[in-house]
């Protein structure tokens, strides 16, 4: 299948946040992923937030994290990627790189920060995701504001046009945005000719529960991912697909634990999907299992082409 000019062996990808140091690039292809998104990476190296900073809620199939973009910095990250390239173990599938803002960089200098990372890494990524939606860097979500985001996109998209290699540019959004704010981002995405949207990041909201143990975990600061996020992220995928009439590719992320969850996201309008928390609870066999069961369901419903599943619910 082809999305934003890249060929994907299957639509199941590794979400950003799992491989923040580009330490396991060959592994993702080997366990069955159709693509991977490395990072988030910031221009400057940073240790992230103090530990403990990740919490499991097994009863809810959820994880809360406040990692805080712990990573080696774009320069060191580029060096690691160069070594992987030389080793001959670079994957055949598309490799994405998630770019965040350095914590010490003021919001008014964010565009420069993202541009600096892009310059260092552009030779290695097939696509880049501008992450302005992590809840764990103070003030970062303010960059989803139309004017602030446009400033970043203007600089990065201008850089993208220069040079022989022009990787795809996407933006990753929060599930907590109103539809009005989301529509403003979609206007920008169209105006700046972005390749797609990643929907969604983790949420700062918490589901209601009477379970005291869950209440204790939910009280932790950070972004929540996993099953409780599934419905809202699908709702946002559906909205984007409807508003853009399917013209803007969507990577659907949030609460995908099996082929039925994957089907829900793709039928709502996602061209690709990503998993993170599903890997935590279901293990490394999950990508292949999703692909196998997805194909089985396509056959049972008499669908021969994967593209026919994208946005299927709006066609019926």
Positions marked active-site:
134
Beta-carbon-side half-sphere exposure of residue 255 (alpha carbons within 13 Å): 20
Distances (CA, A) of 316 to 1, 309, 313: 23, 11, 6
- Rounded CA-CA distance 56/224 in Å is 10
Q: Are 113 and 139 in contact (CB under 8 A)?
A: no
Q: Are 10 and 288 in contact (CB under 8 A)?
A: no
Among positive and negative, which fits the CA dihedral 123, 124, 129, 132?
Answer: negative
Task: Give the helix, strand, coil percentages of the chain, each rounded to 5.
Answer: 40, 20, 40
Helix/strand/coil for 24: coil
Kind and range of the H or E run holding 120:
helix 110-121
- Rounded CA-CA distance 215/182 in Å is 30
Helix/strand/coil for 312: helix
Q: Which residues contact 95 (CB under 8 A, 6 or more apart)?
A: 25, 35, 36, 38, 124, 125, 126
């Amino acid at each position: 299948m082809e999305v934003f000019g890249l060929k994907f062996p299957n639509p199941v990808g590794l979400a950003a946040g799992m491989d923040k140091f580009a330490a396991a690039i060959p592994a993702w292809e080997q366990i069955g992923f159709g693509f991977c998104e490395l990072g988030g990476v910031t221009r400057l190296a940073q240790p992230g937030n103090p530990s403990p900073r990740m919490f499991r809620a097994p009863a809810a199939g959820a994880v809360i994290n406040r990692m805080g973009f712990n990573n080696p910095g774009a320069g060191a990250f580029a060096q690691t990627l160069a070594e992987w390239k030389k080793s001959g173990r670079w994957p055949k599938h598309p490799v994405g790189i998630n770019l965040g803002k350095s914590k010490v960089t003021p919001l008014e200098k964010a565009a420069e920060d993202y541009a600096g990372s892009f310059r260092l890494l552009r030779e290695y990524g097939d696509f880049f995701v501008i992450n302005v939606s992590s809840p764990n860097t103070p003030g970062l979500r303010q960059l989803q504001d139309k004017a602030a985001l446009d400033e970043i996109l203007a600089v990065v998209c201008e850089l993208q046009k220069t040079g022989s290699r022009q990787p795809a540019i996407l933006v990753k959004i929060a599930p907590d945005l109103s539809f009005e704010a989301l529509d403003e981002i979609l206007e920008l995405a169209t105006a700046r000719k972005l390749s797609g949207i990643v929907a969604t990041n983790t949420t700062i909201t918490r589901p209601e529960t009477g379970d005291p143990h869950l209440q204790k975990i939910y009280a932790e600061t950070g972004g929540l991912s996993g099953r409780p996020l599934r419905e809202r992220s699908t709702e946002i995928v559906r909205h984007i697909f409807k508003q853009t009439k399917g013209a803007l590719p969507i990577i659907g992320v949030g609460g995908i634990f099996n082929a039925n969850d994957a089907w829900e996201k793709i039928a709502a309008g996602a061209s690709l999907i990503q998993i993170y928390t599903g890997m935590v609870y279901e293990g490394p066999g999950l990508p292949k299992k999703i692909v196998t069961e997805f194909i089985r369901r396509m056959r049972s419903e008499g669908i021969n082409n994967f593209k026919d599943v994208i946005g299927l619910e709006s066609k019926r």
